[in-house]
């Protein structure tokens, strides 16, 4: 029986009229009614332009030069604005990869969704509209404690914002939902929840979904059929079984090779290179922030980091993983001496780094650098690349102009960029190229330690693999030690010798790579691992370990075990604090929170 198509794209071509470049070339796609179509391709393949064309969101210098997009017998590309407004936002909804930017920051989230509902269905009263929205929020597993009609976008986490934008899309009961790369920047646990949510909503509402991503492992969990894009063309259409067993195109075969095999293949982790001396020592470090409340002169304490201790060997790759809000970024600021801990000490090369004077701080910072996540926000667009990269040398007093030029050229070449771009602005660079500029800026001071705080999380798998290879080459050449702080467990699996798991500011498990991924004992670690989007068999059952929601408010941590409110197997002792918390060594080098040893 032939499945009915709800949307058909015929011979679509989109051209940049300014440059003459053909961005989409002869695209032919069908979306079946009540099905999920996965669209895969790396950055620059044309996925987002295709998604935006489906709602006629194509502006000069881009122009549709041929083709049609048929929905209910009408060509979307030929509709005027009035006709388009009757479809887009009502029958066809679009979810982008920046949910925060989708809402007005000056208005409560619930009120904005209510305004949309009343514009789509003007016959509904405000009270009825609020009830509809509240029920829809319950459908997407939004915490009942959140006051959605009072809270503003900045009060929502990334996962909550993604749920809110899904509610905003569902509120008009659309026939088609276009989801453009909506999970890449989310924690693995939240991304897995969103994927499960979309799957359930598709079944409940019979909504047809186009799910766009650069991560094949993610799409494989949800899509009925998959289309592969490369250089503006659809090069392969298939189902998941045939894609795995019989890929046709070399590009698809290479894409499959890039998908990490977490348990099927052991990563090539080099432990022999690690030296016996410690480059970094962290002892009982804690950090508390005081945050003002609505009441005058009233504050609440946010325990961002609590009693964290570990030692980092020279030339080791050390991973720190956990969800947003677990304290990873605060810890990165403490490790890089941007902030001092409230208690405890951090020593670099045997020297305590907190409490130093300005000149001492400047001297010691030459030897460790912090690389952040956002490749766009980290680099000033008004400066040329030479000034961006050379700035650290100038700050540290280098005045020899020829030496500066030579060093800039050298580090550009080392990160795989041509020195032809030296005096260009970064505005035309891709995310991967910008991150290479960021790396070059750090390398120019010849650091011994690089702290990478979600540095690769915004990049697709292909570009990420290139930069991981670059990091490895740089380590072999200059004997650099790395700290990888990330929510990307597939990346950490590839490169880290040892890994620490953080939850609500504390390290709850610490072990060597193979032990952590195959013999972990903390239920939170198992929850994280169960959420990894991979093509190989996952030994951790997602139905058993994946919980809904996010970590509790760090200003209101549950009594007893901090994980008890989300643990699949809480005991009365866990809940009521009858068990002392703290790491114990269960085997050589394997540390687990004593409250949760063998839990679950």
For 371-386, how does the pLDDT look when each residue is reduced to its tens digit (9 = 90+)?
877 666 778 888 888 9
CA 153/CA 166 separation, integer angstroms: 14
Task: Give SS3 for 597.
Answer: coil
* Average pLDDT over all residues of the chain: 84
Identify the residue with better confidence: 92 or 196.
Answer: 92
What pLDDT does residue 309 have?
94
Q: Is the pLDDT of residue 412 over 70?
A: yes
Contacting residues for 80 by C-beta, under 8 A, at least 6 apart: none
What pLDDT, on a 0 to 100 scale, did the predictor assign at position 310? 95
Average pLDDT (541-568) is: 73
Instruction: Let me know: does 536 contact 546? Beta carbons within 8 Å.
Output: no
Give the Å distances, CA to CA, from 312 to 7, 326, 327, 350. 54, 20, 18, 12
Q: pLDDT by residue (tens digit) across 350-360?
A: 999 887 777 77
**What is the pLDDT, as a whole number, of residue 41?**
85
Q: Which residues of 135-168 are buried (b: 16+ CB within 10 A; e: fewer)?
A: ebbebbbbeeebebeeeebeebbbbbbbbbbbbb
Identify which of 552, 549, 546, 582 has the alpha carbon closest to the alpha carbon of residue 564: 552
Coil/strand/helix, residue 77: helix
Using CA atoms, how far residue 270 sits from 191, 311, 430, in Å, is 30, 18, 31
Q: Does residue 1 carry a pLDDT above 50?
A: no
Q: How confident is the model at residue 548 (pLDDT cuts 50, 70, 90)?
A: low
Q: Which is nearest to 321 in space by CA: 480, 89, 585, 526? A: 526
CA distance 203 to 34: 8
Please say if the pLDDT value at position 570 is more than 80: no
Whether the per-residue pLDDT at 507 is higher than 50: the answer is yes
- Cα distance between residue 540 and residue 567, in whole Å: 15
Percentage of the chain with pLDDT > 90? 26
What residue has token string 């990165």? 332
> pLDDT digit string (tens) for 180-215?
888 776 777 777 877 887 888 788 878 899 999 887
Render pLDDT for 293-311 as a digit per residue (tens, 0 to 9).
Answer: 666 667 778 888 999 999 9
Please name the helix (run of DSSP H) or strand (run of DSSP E) that holds residue 440, with its range, or none: helix 431-443
**574 and 522 in contact (C-beta within 8 Å)?**
no
The reported pTM is 0.81
90 neighbors 55 (Cβ within 8 angstroms): no
Lowest mean pLDDT among 28-42, 194-208, 328-342: 194-208
Candidate ranges 128-132, 289-293, 332-336; pick with highest mean pLDDT: 332-336
Who has greater pLDDT, 254 or 460?
A: 254
Binning pLDDT at 50, 70 and 90, where does residue 569 land?
confident
pLDDT for residue 558 is more than 70: no
Q: Distance between CA 310 and CA 589 in Å, rounded?
A: 11
């Amino acid at each position: 029986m032939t499945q009915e198509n709800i949307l058909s794209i015929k011979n679509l071509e989109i051209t940049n009229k300014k440059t003459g470049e053909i961005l989409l070339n002869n695209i032919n796609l069908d979306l079946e009614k009540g099905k999920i179509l996965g669209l895969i391709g790396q950055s620059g393949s044309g996925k987002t332009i295709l998604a935006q064309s489906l709602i006629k969101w194509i502006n000069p210098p881009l122009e549709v030069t041929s083709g049609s997009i048929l929905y209910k017998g009408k060509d979307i590309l030929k509709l005027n604005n009035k006709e388009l407004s009757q479809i887009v936002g009502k029958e066809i909804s679009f979810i982008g990869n920046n949910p925060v930017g989708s809402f007005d920051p000056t208005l409560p989230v619930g009120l904005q969704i209510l305004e949309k509902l009343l514009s789509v269905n003007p016959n509904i009263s405000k009270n009825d509209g609020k009830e509809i929205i509240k029920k829809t929020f319950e459908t997407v597993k939004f915490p009942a404690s959140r006051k959605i009609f009072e809270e503003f976008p900045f009060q929502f986490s990334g996962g909550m914002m993604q749920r809110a934008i899904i509610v905003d899309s569902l509120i008009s009961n659309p026939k088609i939902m276009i989801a453009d790369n909506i999970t890449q920047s989310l924690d693995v646990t939240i991304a897995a929840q969103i994927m499960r949510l979309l799957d359930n909503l598709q079944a409940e509402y019979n909504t047809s979904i186009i799910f766009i991503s650069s991560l094949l492992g993610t799409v494989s969990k949800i899509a009925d059929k998959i289309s592969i894009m490369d250089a503006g063309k659809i090069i392969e259409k298939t189902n998941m079984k045939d894609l795995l067993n019989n890929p046709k195109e070399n590009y698809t075969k290479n894409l499959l090779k890039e998908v990490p095999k977490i348990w099927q293949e052991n990563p090539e982790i080099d432990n022999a290179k690690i030296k016996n001396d410690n480059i970094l020592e962290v002892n009982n470090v804690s950090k508390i922030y005081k945050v003002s409340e609505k009441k005058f002169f009233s504050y609440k304490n946010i325990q961002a980091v609590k009693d964290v201790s570990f030692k980092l060997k020279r030339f080791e790759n050390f991973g720190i993983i956990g969800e947003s809000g677990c304290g990873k970024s605060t810890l990165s600021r403490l490790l890089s001496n941007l902030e001092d801990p409230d208690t405890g000490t951090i020593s670099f090369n045997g020297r305590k780094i907190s409490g130093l004077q300005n000149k001492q701080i400047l001297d010691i910072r030459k030897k460790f650098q912090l690389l952040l996540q956002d490749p766009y926000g980290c680099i000033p667009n008004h400066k040329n690349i030479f000034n961006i990269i050379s700035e650290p040398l100038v700050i540290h007093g280098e005045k020899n102009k020829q030496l500066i030029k030579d060093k800039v050229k050298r580090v550009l070449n080392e990160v795989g960029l041509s020195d032809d771009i030296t005096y260009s602005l970064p505005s035309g660079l891709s995310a991967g190229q910008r991150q290479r500029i960021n790396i070059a800026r750090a390398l120019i001071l010849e650091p011994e330690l690089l702290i990478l705080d979600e540095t690769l999380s915004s990049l697709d798998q292909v570009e990420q693999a290139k930069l991981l290879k670059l990091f490895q080459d740089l380590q072999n050449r200059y004997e650099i030690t790395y700290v990888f702080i990330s929510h990307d467990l597939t990346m950490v699996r590839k490169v880290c010798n040892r890994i620490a798991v953080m939850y609500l500011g504390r390290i709850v498990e610490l072990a060597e790579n193979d032990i952590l991924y195959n013999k972990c004992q903390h239920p939170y670690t198992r929850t994280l691992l169960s959420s990894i989007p991979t093509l190989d068999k996952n030994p951790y059952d997602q139905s058993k370990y994946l919980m809904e929601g996010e970590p509790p408010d760090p200003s209101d941590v549950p009594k007893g075990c901090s994980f008890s409110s989300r643990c699949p197997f809480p005991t009365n002792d866990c809940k009521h604090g009858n068990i002392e918390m703290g790491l114990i060594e269960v085997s050589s080098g394997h540390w687990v929170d004593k409250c949760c040893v063998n839990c679950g």
